[in-house]
């Protein structure tokens, strides 16, 4: 194929189910419906960045991040926090994840943020490897019992990338 | 869509001089009516009637105004009063015209035609009536009168092209293509050189239509065909529809036996549209190679080079190649590129080949795709991997190996869970394996991927209905419907005439009806406890179940009846086209619609509704189900009084439930039989079935569209045994005299002859004679022999019974052969059926 088969597009209220499907297939954590709906809840004041990654016309990966401004001085440090980033196993190695990540990086710059955070389960070696390759570093000690509804390890590392 | 016509009535002519005050008022009122001021018009008419209550024309106009303001019953009484007058002092031509319009609004077309006609016969000068009259005759398929009306109108108003076209079509319908073409020729002469830009399309259609007429009139006459040819050449520059023009040219060459020339035209057509399979077939015939596989192969390999992107040259050779090696190669060349490209319909494209030679195609195609699947890497070419698995799933589904089918679709879903098609296919597999609820949930899972996808939405609805989960189905379907003024989309779907939904819902209700009825019967047969509390509870349960049974049955009939109404509406909707198509100048399209319109009651959806309703009506007839209420009245009355508090509570709960049910099942506003209670409590089920469904079907069914089993079952219940034998004979003509269904029918008739007390001896004799003629070896002499084993005879003299035949036997025979023995045979037969059929028979047809 001469044309690049990989494309990105927004997540819409109508196809958020596809995004949910990818996330819940790839990650051992089960995310509730509420998590996916909050992006389209008019009452929710948070800023989300979400994209679906397509191979051909099939959605195979997705990312969602939240902008955390430091105004309120909450527990979380200011920056952009990647809530989920997932690509179906069979479609890895096609730079779909990188494209999704660079989308988040662009958004971070546009919103004047210099730090991107992510949580990765301590037993997710492939994930840790991937984040490190893309310029993330582990920060501090693993968080104990971070994930609730999961089949994998409940502990998570915090990863950070400066942009 | 049907916009009700209001009718343009009468002009103030045809009135005697020195008219009365009433007549003057009438004209005034007519003007108001035409301006759609029905209420004012009504008022004015009423003042006239106050003075002269016998003024017929005023009575008629009052009726029409009442009709237009939705007071239909009152309107009818005034019409009757107007009609009661007879000829003396009866309606004037204007009055007759008004009555005609009333009848037309009322869809009583033949009566309307009568009134229009007599308005004209009685001296109405309003010649416009001829046009309305013609549309009515067209609607009624009364060709002779149609021609007369068209002719009269044409004579009055020659200045309109539409009138010439209408006249030509009327001639055509009367089997006079030559006269029709003469009319068109005359018009052409008159119109020559006077056509504006806007009229060119209409003109082109009329020219092509004239060529159609000439072609049909020519028959096989060579000279005439030559003249048609000449005409075709003459009109060429003016014709827009080049396909029709070329197709006509080719068929003329074929008829004139100039095959070489015909083949050239077919090649031109293929060049214009290389994906039309028909042109390839016709090209084969023109070249005379249709029976020569070798030359066909050469032809198609050449065509494939010319049109590498076209489908037919690749596919057609697969239908005739015998050599296995070549076949494998060609099949592989056909299948694999499609799978690689991700064509979802790949399997459906080759399904005809699977049907034609299941063994060979499934063996070879299965091998090709499996080899392909084994040699690709699921990460390198992920989509091809998915589509190959998708194909293999359908492959095994065709072979009814549902476990294998499920393996492949699961592999595809594990790999790529974001493709809607995969969920639909998985649901299909589950459905065939008998897991209806799982199937519905699976397709619903796919639906959630993309809520905007209307296709998967309707699929989900259908699967929910198949699983009898009506509430969920309605909830899902309502996402896409207009729901103002209603709690869900059911009303909108009725307005949109969505037969697919209404029909599936009917079938769902029918299954629930059967299930509830069975529960009810079981409860009624169960032992009655001596404990008063328990008795009361039991009575309440029975009442509830009885309600549910009658509700589901009523709703099933209600939905099926709605479909019958849709089709009647389709028929009525044609009325507007008899004049509209003429004005638009599209005679060819009009005639196509007109012929289609003559068989709408044999279209699959109507037949399905008819058969569905038949099952329920026959069931009502067979079990003489009385209305639910009087069945348990005796049971509850004595007890209810004793413990009235609980009874009252229960009654209130039931009432609440009924109100709730009515809200969710409403189909049209102001319905007084929302749950179909009136329909289900009928005392004349066979008559109702005939009036609402069967009459229209029987009227339009031809020998190819008749349903002999349905006809047989209906006539059997009507006791018209000779007609049963007739249907049986026709069925045997098609399926052979040893067909097991034929055997079932024979036994059913014999049972009636032997046991029925309602059927008179003469009828029985006639039926016997008929049977004797059809089956010389039938042991009729054993009919009085009580020990003769008819089941054994059935099994020995007819083919191994099909499930269909056994179920028919179970429905119509109970004495001549024991029901238990038939049940046993059905159970044995079920072993070889697919799970979903087993389930539905066990659940719904064996109780």
Instruction: Please tell me the predicted confidence (pLDDT) of residue B758.
Output: 86
pLDDT of amino acid A130: 95
What's the rounded Cα separation, in Å, for the pair B801 and B715?
23
| Structure tokens, B300 | 């198609």
Residue with the bigger pLDDT between B10 and A109: it is A109
Reference B784, options B754, B762, B760, B761; nearest CA is B754
Name chain B contacts of A13, Cβ cutoff 8 Å.
451
Residues near B383 by beta carbon (within 8 Å), at least 6 away in sequence = A55, A56, A58, B342, B416
Instruction: Give residue B570's pLDDT.
Output: 94
pLDDT on residue B624: 67
Number of CB atoms found within 10 A of residue B165's CB? 28
Burial B654-692 (b: 16+ CB within 10 A, else e): eeeeeeebeeebbbeeeeeebbbbebbbbeebbebbbeb
User: Shortest Cα distance from A58 to chain B (angstroms)?
Assistant: 7
CB distance B782 to B820 below 8 Å: no
Q: Comparing C-alpha atoms, which of A65, A91, A89 is closest to residue A76?
A: A65
Minimum distance, in Å, between the CA of residue B399 and any CA atom of chain A = 29
Asked if A136 has any chain B CB less than 8 Å from its own CB, the reply is no
pTM: 0.89
Q: Which residue in the block uniquely carries the two structure tokens 């060979």?
A: B360
* Partners of A54 in the β-ladder: A7, A59
Distance CA B57, CA B65 (A): 12
Mean pLDDT of B269-276: 96
Give the chain A residue whose CA is nearest to the CA of B445. A17
What distance in Å separates residue B109's CA from the closest CA in chain A?
49
SS3 B730: helix
pLDDT at residue B88, as a whole number: 55
| Among candidates B379, B419, B450 on the partner chain, residue whose Cβ is nearest the Cβ of A14 | B450
**Would you tell me which residues 82-121 of chain A have a C-beta closer than 8 angstroms to some C-beta of chain B?**
88, 90-93
Q: How far apart are CA B66 and CA B58, in angstroms?
A: 12
- The β-bridge partners of A9 are A52
Tokens standing for B530?
Answer: 């001596």
For A150, the token pair is: 């999961």
pLDDT band at residue B668 using 50, 70 and 90 as cut-offs: confident
- Between the alpha carbon of residue A81 and those of residues A47, A76, A78, A85, the distances in Å are 11, 9, 9, 11
What are residue B275's phi and psi, to 5 degrees? -105, 5
In the block, tokens 């003459």 appear at B234
CATH of A6-162, one of 3.40.630.30, 1.10.10.10, 3.40.50.720, 3.10.20.30: 3.40.630.30
Nearest to B418 among A14, A59, A93 (CB): A59
Query: What pLDDT does residue A74 have?
Result: 58
Residue identified by tokens 């299965």 is B366
Within 8 A of B418 by CB-CB distance, chain A residues are 18, 21-22, 58-60, 88
Residues of B in contact with A15 (CB under 8 A): 449-452
How open is the CA angle B18-B22-B27, to the nearest 5 degrees? 85
**Cβ neighbour number for residue A48 with a 10 Å cutoff:** 15
Q: Is B168 helix (H, G, I), strand (E, B) or coil?
A: helix
Taking contacts as CB-CB distances below 8 angstroms, the residues of chain A near B452 are 14-15
Contact B416 A21 (CB under 8 A): no
Chain A nearest CA to B333, separation (Å): 20
Say whether A90 and B448 touch across the interface (CB within 8 A): no
Q: What is the pLDDT of residues B771-808, one digit of tens each?
A: 998 888 888 888 888 888 999 999 999 999 999 999 99
Residue B317 DSSP symbol: G
Nearest to B676 by CA among B549, B563, B555: B555
Question: What is the C-alpha to C-alpha distance for residues B491 and B540, in angstroms, rounded to an integer?
Answer: 32
How many angstroms away from the CA of A150 is the closest CA of chain B?
19
Between B373 and B79, the higher pLDDT residue: B373
- How distant is the Cα of B378 from the closest Cα of chain A, in angstroms? 7
Instruction: Report how many helices (DSSP H) and strands (DSSP E) chain B contains, helices first.
Output: 45, 0
Chain A CB within 8 Å of residue B452 CB: yes
- Using one digit for the tens of pLDDT, what is the confidence trace for B144-193? 999 999 999 999 999 888 999 999 999 999 999 999 999 999 999 988 88
Confidence of residue B4 (pLDDT cuts 50, 70, 90): very low
For residue B626, what pLDDT is reported? Answer: 38
Pick from B834, B292, B248: nearest CA to B588: B248
Q: Quick check: B451 and A14 CB within 8 A?
A: yes
Structural domains of chain B in order of their starting residue, each with its CATH number? 21-225 (1.25.40.1040), 242-458 (1.25.40.1040), 481-626+650-706 (1.25.40), 708-846 (no CATH)
Instruction: Give the pLDDT confidence of B46-55 residue by residue, as tens digits.
Output: 888 888 877 8
pLDDT value at residue A1: 44
Residues of B within 8 A of A88 (CB-CB) are 415-418
CA-based nearest residue to B818, from B756, B751, B764: B751
Band (pLDDT 50/70/90 cuts) for residue B529 is: confident
Q: Worst-scoring range by mean pLDDT, B41-45, B253-257, B487-491, B683-687?
A: B41-45
Minimal Cβ distance to A90: which of B415, B419, B450: B415
Query: Which chain B residues are Cβ-neighbours of A25 within 8 angstroms?
Result: 417
Q: Which of B202-206, B400-404, B425-429, B624-628 has the lowest mean pLDDT?
A: B624-628
Closest CA to B288 of B265, B263, B323: B263
Alpha carbon of residue A12 to chain centroid: 16
Residue owning tokens 């079938």? B507
B223-228: average pLDDT: 95
Does A9 lie at the interface with B, CB-CB under 8 angstroms? no
Rounded mean pLDDT of B123-138?
91
Identify the residue with better confidence: B264 or B487: B264
Q: Using alpha carbons, select from B430, B454, B432, B450 the residue that is nearest to residue B440.
A: B430
3-class state of residue A68 by DSSP: strand
pLDDT of amino acid B783: 85
First to last CA, chain A: 33
Q: How large is the average pLDDT for residues A6-29?
A: 94
Per-residue pLDDT band for A66 (boundaries 50, 70, 90) equals: very high
Please tell me if residue A132 touches chain B, with a CB cutoff of 8 Å.
no
Looking at beta carbons, which residues of chain A come within 8 Å of B449? 15, 17-18, 21
For residue B115, which of B90, B98, B131, B128 has the smallest C-alpha distance?
B98
- Of the given ranges (B86-95, B493-502, B531-540), which has the lowest mean pLDDT? B86-95
Q: Give the pLDDT of residue B638.
A: 53
User: What backbone torsions phi and psi does residue A8 show, to the nearest 5 degrees?
Assistant: -115, 150
Residue pLDDT, tens place only, A43-63: 888 899 999 999 989 999 999
Half-sphere exposure of B548 (CA within 13 A, CB side): 17
- Chain A residues with CB under 8 Å of B382 CB are 55, 60, 90-91
Residue A15, chain B, CB below 8 Å: the answer is yes
Q: Establish if A30 touches chain B: CB-CB under 8 angstroms.
A: no
**Of B254, B238, B184, B243, nearest in space to B213 by CA:** B184
The terminus-to-terminus CA distance of chain B in angstroms comes to: 44
Scanning every residue of chain A, which has its alpha carbon at the shortest distance from the alpha carbon of B447?
Answer: A17
Chain A nearest-CA residue for B421: A58
Tell me the count of A-B CB pairs closer than 8 A.
49
Instruction: Say if residue B625's pLDDT is above 90.
Output: no
Contact B379 A93 (CB under 8 A): yes
Of the listed ranges A9-23, A68-82, B363-377, the least confidently predicted one is A68-82
Is the Cβ pair A22, B452 closer than 8 Å?
no
Which conformational region is residue B676 in: left (phi greater than 0), alpha (psi within -120 to 50 degrees), or beta? Answer: left
d(CA B88, CA A39): 80
Predicted local confidence at residue A44, as pLDDT:
85
Chain A nearest CA to B369, separation (Å): 20
**pLDDT, mean of residues B413-424:** 96
Q: What is the ipTM, given to two decimal places?
A: 0.94
Contact B418 A88 (CB under 8 A): yes
Judged against a pLDDT cut of 60, whether residue A115 lies above it is answered with yes
pLDDT in tens, B61-111: 888 988 888 888 888 888 888 887 655 567 788 888 999 999 999 899 999
Tokens representing B575? 């009325």
In this prediction, residues A150-156 reach a mean pLDDT of: 90
Name the pLDDT band for B618 (thresholds 50, 70, 90).
very high
Residues 48-77, chain A, touching B (beta carbon < 8 A): 55-56, 58-60
Helix intervals (H) in B377-417: 382-398, 402-415
> Cα torsion for B282, B284, B285, B288, to the nearest 10°?
160
Of B701, B520, B702, B517, the residue nearest B615 (C-alpha) = B517
Fill in the DSSP letter of residue A87. Answer: E
The reply to whether A17 touches chain B by the CB within 8 Å rule is yes
Q: What would the mean pLDDT of B478-502 be, rounded to a whole number?
A: 92
Nearest to B311 by CA among B286, B353, B280, B355: B280
Closest CB to A90 among B416, B450, B452: B416
B635 vs A: CB within 8 A = no
Compute the distance between CA of residue B151 and CA of residue B176 in angstroms, rounded to an integer: 14
Q: Which helix (H) or strand (E) holds A59?
A: strand A58-68
Chain B residue whose CA is closest to A89? B415
Cα(B809)–Cα(B823) distance, rounded to whole angstroms? 10
Average pLDDT over residues B28-56: 85
Residue B397 pLDDT > 80, yes or no? yes
Cα separation, B97 vs B9, in Å, equals: 7
B418 near A CB under 8 A: yes
Partner-chain residue, chosen from B378, B416, B448, that has the shortest CB–CB distance to A60: B416
Residues 6+ apart with CB under 8 A from B573: B1, B2
Interval B717-740 mean pLDDT: 94
């Amino acid at each position: 194929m001469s044309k690049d088969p990989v494309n990105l597009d927004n997540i819409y209220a109508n196809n958020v189910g596809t995004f949910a499907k990818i996330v819940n297939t790839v990650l051992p954590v089960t995310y509730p419906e509420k998590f996916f709906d909050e992006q389209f809840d008019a009452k929710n004041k948070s800023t989300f960045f979400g994209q679906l990654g397509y191979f051909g016309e099939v959605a195979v990966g997705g990312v969602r991040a939240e902008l955390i401004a430091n105004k309120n001085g909450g527990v979380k440090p200011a920056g952009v926090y990647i809530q989920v980033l997932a690509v179906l196993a069979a479609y890895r190695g096609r730079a779909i994840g990188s494209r999704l990540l660079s989308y988040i990086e662009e958004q971070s710059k546009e919103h004047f943020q210099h730090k991107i955070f992510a949580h990765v389960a301590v037993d997710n070696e492939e994930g840790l490897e991937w984040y490190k390759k893309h310029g993330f570093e582990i920060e501090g000690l693993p968080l104990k019992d971070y994930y609730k509804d999961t089949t994998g390890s409940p502990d998570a590392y915090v990863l950070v990338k400066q942009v | 869509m049907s916009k009700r016509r209001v009718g343009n009535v009468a002009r103030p002519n045809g009135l005697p001089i020195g008219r009365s005050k009433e007549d003057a008022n009438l004209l005034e009122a007519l003007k108001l009516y035409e301006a759609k001021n029905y209420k004012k018009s009504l008022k004015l008419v009423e003042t006239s009637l106050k003075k002269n209550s016998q003024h017929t024309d005023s009575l008629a106009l009052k009726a029409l105004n009442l009709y237009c303001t939705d007071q239909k019953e009152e309107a009818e009484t005034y019409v009757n009063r107007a009609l009661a007058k007879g000829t003396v002092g009866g309606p004037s031509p204007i009055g007759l015209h008004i009555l005609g319009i009333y009848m037309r609004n009322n869809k009583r077309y033949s009566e309307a035609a009568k009134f229009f006609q007599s308005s004209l016969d009685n001296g109405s000068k309003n010649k416009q009536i001829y046009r309305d009259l013609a549309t009515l005759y067209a609607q009624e398929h009364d060709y002779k009168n149609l021609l007369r009306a068209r002719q009269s109108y044409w004579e009055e108003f020659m200045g309109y092209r539409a009138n010439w076209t209408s006249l030509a079509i009327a001639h055509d319908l009367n089997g006079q293509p030559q006269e029709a073409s003469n009319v068109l020729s005359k018009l052409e002469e008159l119109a020559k050189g006077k056509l504006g830009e806007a009229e060119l399309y209409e003109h082109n259609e009329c020219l092509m239509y004239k060529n159609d007429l000439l072609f049909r009139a020519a028959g096989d006459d060579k000279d005439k065909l030559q003249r048609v040819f000449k005409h075709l050449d003459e009109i060429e520059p003016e014709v827009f529809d080049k396909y029709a023009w070329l197709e006509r040219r080719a068929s003329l060459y074929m008829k004139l036996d100039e095959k070489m020339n015909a083949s050239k035209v077919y090649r031109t057509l293929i060049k214009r549209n290389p994906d039309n399979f028909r042109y390839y077939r016709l090209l084969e015939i023109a070249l005379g190679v249709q029976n020569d596989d070798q030359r066909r192969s050469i032809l198609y390999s050449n065509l494939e080079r010319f049109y590498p992107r076209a489908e037919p040259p690749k596919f057609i050779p697969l239908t005739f190649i015998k050599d296995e090696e070549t076949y494998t190669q060609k099949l592989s060349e056909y299948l694999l590129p499609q799978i690689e490209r991700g064509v979802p319909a790949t399997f459906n494209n080759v399904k005809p080949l699977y049907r034609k030679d299941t063994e060979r195609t499934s063996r070879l195609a299965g091998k090709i795709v499996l080899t392909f699947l084994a040699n690709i890497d699921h990460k390198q070419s992920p989509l091809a991997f998915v589509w190959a698995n998708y194909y293999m799933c359908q492959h095994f589904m065709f072979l009814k190996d549902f476990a294998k089918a499920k393996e492949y679709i699961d592999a595809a879903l594990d790999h790529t869970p974001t493709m809607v098609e995969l969920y639909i296919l998985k649901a299909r597999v589950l459905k065939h394996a008998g897991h209806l609820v799982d199937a519905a949930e699976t397709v619903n899972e796919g639906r959630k991927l993309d809520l905007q996808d209307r296709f998967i939405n309707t699929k989900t609805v259908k699967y929910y209905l198949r699983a009898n989960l009506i509430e969920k189905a309605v909830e899902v379907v309502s996402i896409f419907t207009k729901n103002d003024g209603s709690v869900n989309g059911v009303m909108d779907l009725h307005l949109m005439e969505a037969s697919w939904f209404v029909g599936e819902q009917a079938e769902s209700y029918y299954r629930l009806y059967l299930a509830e009825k069975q529960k009810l019967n079981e409860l009624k047969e169960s032992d009655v406890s001596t404990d008063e509390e328990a008795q009361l509870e039991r009575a309440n349960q029975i009442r509830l179940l009885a309600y549910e049974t009658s509700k589901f049955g009523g709703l099933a009939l209600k939905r099926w009846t709605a479909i019958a109404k849709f089709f009647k509406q389709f028929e009525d909707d044609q009325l507007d086209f008899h004049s509209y198509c003429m004005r638009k100048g599209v005679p060819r399209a009009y005639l196509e619609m007109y012929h289609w319109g003559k068989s709408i009651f044999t279209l699959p959806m109507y037949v399905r509704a008819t058969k569905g309703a038949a099952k329920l009506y026959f069931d009502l007839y067979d079990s003489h189900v009385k209305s639910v209420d009087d069945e348990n009245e005796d049971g509850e009355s004595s007890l209810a009084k004793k413990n009235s508090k609980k009874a009252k509570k229960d009654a209130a709960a039931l009432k609440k439930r009924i109100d709730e049910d009515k809200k969710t099942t409403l189909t049209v506003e102001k319905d007084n039989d929302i749950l179909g209670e009136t329909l289900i409590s009928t005392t004349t089920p066979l008559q109702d079935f005939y009036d609402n469904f069967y009459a229209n079907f029987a009227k339009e069914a031809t020998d190819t569209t008749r349903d002999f089993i349905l006809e047989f079952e209906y006539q059997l219940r009507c006791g018209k045994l000779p007609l049963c034998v007739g249907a049986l004979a026709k069925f045997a003509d098609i399926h052979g005299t040893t067909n097991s269904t034929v055997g079932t029918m024979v036994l059913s008739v014999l049972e009636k002859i032997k046991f029925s007390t309602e059927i008179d001896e003469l009828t029985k004799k006639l039926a016997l004679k008929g049977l004797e003629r059809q089956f010389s070896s039938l042991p009729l002499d054993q009919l009085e022999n009580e020990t003769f084993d008819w089941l054994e005879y059935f099994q020995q003299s007819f083919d191994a019974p099909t499930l269909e035949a056994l179920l028919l036997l179970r429905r119509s025979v109970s004495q001549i052969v024991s029901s238990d023995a038939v049940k046993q045979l059905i159970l044995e037969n079920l072993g070889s059926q697919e799970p979903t059929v087993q389930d539905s028979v066990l659940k719904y047809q064996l109780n």
